[in-house]
Amino acid sequence: MLDIKNLHVSVEAEEEDSEREILKGLSLSVKAGEVHAIMGPNGSGKSTLANVIAGRGGYRVSQGQVRYEGADLLALAPEERAQKGIFLAFQYPVEIPGVNNMYFLRAALNAQKRARGDKELDAGQFLKLVRAQLKRLDLKEDLLQRAVNVGFSGGEKKRNEIFQMAILEPKLALLDETDSGLDIDALKAVSDGVNSLRAPDRAIVMITHYQRLLSHIEPDHVHVLAGGRIVRSGDKSLAADLERHGYGSIAGEAA
Amino acid sequence: MTQPLPLPRAPDSVETLLTGRPYKYGFVTDIESETSPPGLSEDTVRFISEKKGEPDWLLAWRLEAYRAWREMESPDWAKLNIPAIDYEGATYYSAPKQQSGPSSLEEVDPELLKTYEKLGIPLHERAALAGIAVDAVFDSISVATTFKAQLGELGIIFCSFGEAVREHPDLVRKYLGTVVPQNDNFFAALNSAVFSDGSFAYIPAGVRCPMELSTYFRINASKTGQFERTLIVADKGAYVSYLEGCTAPMRDENQLHAAVVELVALDEAQIKYSTVQNWYPGDENGKGGIYNFVTKRGACRGIRSKISWTQVEAGSAITWKYPSCILQGDHSVGEFYSVAVTNNFQQADTGTKMIHLGRNTRSTIISKGISAGKAQNTYRGLVRIMPRAKGARNFTQCDSLLIGDKCGAHTVPYIDVRTPEAKLEHEATTSKISDEQMFYCRQRGLSQEDALSLIVNGFAREVLKELPMEFAVEAQKLLAVSLEGSVG
């Protein structure tokens, strides 16, 4: 589904000379149905990876390729990537004052449906869909009537991201530090939500600093990102190793 | 070996400003007109008055205004760059040629009916907008008014200003100029001298007007100014909701629009006045567009009366407009809800005045300014609490939204409180549409245009919800269209 080869990415700067390379030859392959965890120390390039896949501006790809469902992903605008089923759960979800959460989500869903040539949902059909998912994620209905992320607590913002994911039903979901800033109850609620969205035709890539998320959402593959490259890959036991020995030993190994 | 790969355009930057915005009302109707010779003198005033077959008192009233205007200077205190206006070169009266005024819709020139249909305002009652009575003003005259008979059964008078002068002279004479005197300001004086038509509405005591009343203003002729006058009187306990819309053809020249609106609310009466202003704004280089200099004022004369202004100002090259309330009756209420959008080279200096005279009077001001391109957008407002107005309260909120970094937003609140027993609150914010907001929306699948429209409409929501429902949808679309091309 997602195939990344030798990806080099820098943060855009006024002058090319002062650009800082963040990803230095990253390769990764993700198949439908799989759950991958990408772990690594601060500044290793985890969020950059998620942002480049989703199409955020401000990055320059100098080398390598990203293929999604066999096509060149980097040639597409962010909304085209979304319409093709890529979803990013933001580390810092953005506030949009005055825009009703439910209205926003319906506009997004129908924009995606339109792009795919599917029939759009009317207000009634959408409400039905939304109510079902709310129940599944144990969310309060008043969340829908509030402005997008405005005045939401940290936990509510992250839950809202997963709620959006549940409605939009992406093929490839990128979760960027979805566990950060959550207390234990919120972490459980978010994890339960993600687990309920695991499906054979859906891939999930979780980006996290901590092992604790992985005890709630069990990954098929764990990768360690350090110095802009994946330095080690393994199954879930790798995460436990990391917890015991820290990133230092592995990053040292790679150097 | 690092051969840079071609990258997709930095797609989520809101900094890049493109040009070009479609103005879909920019067509010209080819119709024979009767036009006054250009220039402005007492003869011009007499010509207009005679054309309209006016009584002597009105001609005298106009001449008084003209003489006052000659002594006045164009105001220069607004944050506007106003090119010199050639008052001698303009034409002050232009009317489609017809065999006298049409007495029924059947007699209206089909070319005019077609024009209004194109604008989305069908005038035949069988096709007309449900629940909305329309007075259609084309250049200098009203060409048709719908649902007059139905309204008449309730004693409601809704007709063109010219007809009101003929049919209801006592009412017109009683209220004309009592809210905005002839010599109130330069543009009001000009209007009082040369106004050609407009709408008149009178809602009798205790009557709740069952449909929206509206006037649709259309400038068509070139080199012609439009000077309409609207007078709405709500008698004791009456209620009316009124809406005006405006469009004009795209022309390279600037055209002047100087209107006066007077509202009078007696005891416990309510007037809700909504405007969707979409005059031609000029092109992306700032060529052409309407100069919109408008004096709108409402008098809450009676106890517990209420006047509410809601405006969506999207068009015009220059907007100079301050819909105001004089809160004379005790416990009366004034409201001002405004969205002003400026793009390219548009300039807007708009706001309100709330003058509290009576006890326990209340006013609310919500202003949302949206600026893109190289446009300048100013909120200017006055809240004055006079000594008698004990217990008066005002709440003011001014928010500005910037798109790009070449535009400007300014807030100029004047506060003048002359009693210690009043309470005022003022809040102001300025924000920018961030790349983050745009990316968030696009990551969920929305196009750039839809994302912008969503964010802007969210920003303006508090005001848009005050519009009558039929027009709220239209206004939302207008906001999006007005900003088209402002991101890329």
Characterize the bridge pairing of strands A96-100 and A147-148.
Answer: antiparallel
Is B446 near chain A, with CB under 8 Å?
Answer: yes
Contacts of B460 in chain A (CB under 8 A): 98
- Please report residues of B whose CB lies closer than 8 A to that of A120: none
Element (H, E) at B76: none
Beta strands, E only, B128-281 = 132-138, 141-145, 157-160, 199-203, 212-218, 229-234, 239-247, 254-257, 260-265, 270-277
> In whole angstroms, what is the distance from residue B85 CA to residue B428 CA?
34
Can you tell me the distance from the alpha carbon of B455 to that of B441, in angstroms, rounded to the nearest whole number? 9
B444 contacts A55? CB cut-off 8 A: no
| Per-residue confidence (pLDDT) for residue B324, from 0 to 100 | 97
pLDDT at B15: 32
Distance CA B233, CA B265 (A): 6
Q: Please name the amino acid found at residue A200.
A: P
The two tokens of residue B148 are 């007059």
What is each CA distance from B54 to A157, B47, B199, B291, in whole angstroms? 66, 11, 16, 28
- Residue A178 has φ and ψ, to the nearest 5°, of -65, -20
Q: What is the pLDDT of residue B193?
A: 95
Please identify which residue in the block is written with the tokens 């060149």. A72
Domain boundaries, chain A: 2-254
Count of CB atoms within 10 A of residue B163's CB? 19
CB neighbours of B116 closer than 8 A, spacing ≥ 6? B122, B123, B136, B144, B216, B218
Buried b (16+ CB within 10 A) or exposed e, B105-136: beebbeebbebbeebebbbebeebbeebbbbb
Q: Of the candidates A227, A245, A191, A157, which has an alpha carbon nearest to the alpha carbon of residue A35?
A: A191
Phi and psi based region of residue A133 (left: phi greater than 0; alpha: psi -120 to 50; beta: remaining): alpha
Identify any residues that bridge with B390 across adjacent strands, giving them in sequence order. none
Partner residue facing A108 (CB), from B11, B436, B445: B445
Contacts of A148 in chain B (CB under 8 A): 458
Residues on A contacting B at a C-beta cutoff of 8 Å:
8, 12, 54-58, 60-65, 74-79, 81-83, 87-88, 90, 93-99, 104-105, 107-109, 111-112, 115, 147-148, 164, 168
For A180-195, the three-class secondary structure string (H helix, E strand, C coil) is CCCCHHHHHHHHHHHH
Beta strands in A40-115 (DSSP E): 59-68, 71-72, 86-89, 96-100
CA distance B74 to B186: 6
Is the pTM of the predicted complex or chain greater than 0.95? no
**Listed residue (B37, B66, B324, B57) closest to B195, CA to CA:** B66
User: Is B234 within 8 Å of B271 (Cβ atoms)?
Assistant: yes
Quick check: B460 and B376 in contact, CB under 8 A? no
CB pairs under 8 A between A and B: 111
The CA-atom distances, in angstroms, between B377 and each of B32, B76, B273, B320, B371 are 38, 16, 22, 11, 6
CATH architecture entry for A2-254: 3-Layer(aba) Sandwich (3.40)
Please state, in angstroms and as integers, the Cα–Cα distance from residue B312 to each residue in A127, B30, B243, B462, B463, following that order.
Answer: 31, 29, 11, 12, 8
Mutate to test the interface with B, among A84, A95, A99 (most CBs of B within 10 A): A99
Q: What's the token pair of residue B103?
A: 């007495």
Helix B448-459 and helix A101-116, axial crossing angle in degrees, nearest 10: 160
Please name the residues in contact with B164: beta carbons below 8 A apart, sequence gap of 6 or more.
B157, B171, B172, B200, B231
pLDDT per residue, tens digit, chain B (488 aa), is 333 333 333 323 333 322 334 666 666 677 667 777 778 889 989 998 998 899 999 999 999 999 999 999 988 888 988 888 888 888 887 776 654 455 566 667 777 777 777 666 666 655 555 566 777 777 656 666 778 888 899 999 999 899 999 999 999 999 999 999 999 999 999 999 999 888 899 999 999 998 888 887 776 666 667 888 999 999 999 999 998 876 666 666 777 889 999 999 999 999 999 988 887 888 888 888 888 999 999 999 999 999 999 998 888 888 999 999 999 999 999 999 999 988 888 898 999 999 999 999 999 999 999 998 888 999 999 999 999 999 999 999 999 999 888 889 999 999 999 999 999 999 999 888 888 999 999 999 999 888 988 998 899 888 888 887 767 777 777 777 777 666 65
Q: Quote the minimal CA–CA distance from B55 to chain A in Å.
A: 52
3-state secondary structure of A58: coil
A104/B8 Cβ within 8 A: no
Beta partners for B413?
Answer: B381
Residue whose entry in the numeric block shows the structure tokens 């269209």: B481
Selecting from A12, A79, A97 the residue whose C-beta is nearest the C-beta of B446 gives A79
ipTM of this complex:
0.95
Contact B324, B298 (CB under 8 A): yes
Single-letter amino acid, residue A55 = G
What's the CA gap between B133 and B115, in Å, rounded?
Answer: 17
Select from B7, B457, B461 the Cβ nearest to the Cβ of A61: B7
- Tell me which amino acid residue B159 is: C
Token code pair at residue A65? 């390729």
3-class DSSP assignment, residue A101: helix
Q: Euclidean distance between the first and final Cα of chain A, in Å?
A: 30
